[in-house]
Amino acid sequence: MPIVALAIVGLLGIVGGFVASRVGRSRSAADPSSAFTRWWRIARWIGLALAVASWPLTGFMAYPYAGANGRPGHVAGIPFMAAYFDDQGRDYVGTQTMVAVLANAVFWYLFPRLVVVVTDTVRQRRQRARATAN
């Protein structure tokens, strides 16, 4: 179940990241000297670092998961499962491994952008609410 839940979170994160990229580009172009633009640039570099780091660190980004026999193993890859290691250390990889590793890199590349846009949107709404309350 956690594998499916994380995959859903991953897909939502990728879609949200693409939407956030469009919104962020337009906000950044509207005011190039704003605090948002500074955070947007930082998020791009952090996302790039996370995407590059997610590739070699896929094996370290693992969590315990019981296999079909009920014995504990480990799933490598967050949010998308790239490999499964059983209780004896045998790995189960296949054609999905490369797709999952690339999807993980895309997710981690876009995730900081999503965080910046959501944070800025919440901040703007709070400012508007305060302005209308006064």
What lies within 8 Å, CB to CB, of 73 at 6+ separation is: 64, 65, 66, 67, 84, 85, 86, 87
38-78: pLDDT as tens digits: 999 999 999 999 999 998 887 778 888 887 778 888 888 88
In the chain, % of residues over pLDDT 90: 63
The answer to whether residue 11 scores a pLDDT higher than 90 is yes
The answer to whether residue 134 scores a pLDDT higher than 80 is no
62 to 17, 67, 82, 104, 108: CA distances (angstroms): 23, 14, 10, 13, 15
Domain boundaries in the chain? 2-133
111-124: pLDDT as tens digits: 999 999 999 999 99
What pLDDT does residue 67 have?
A: 75
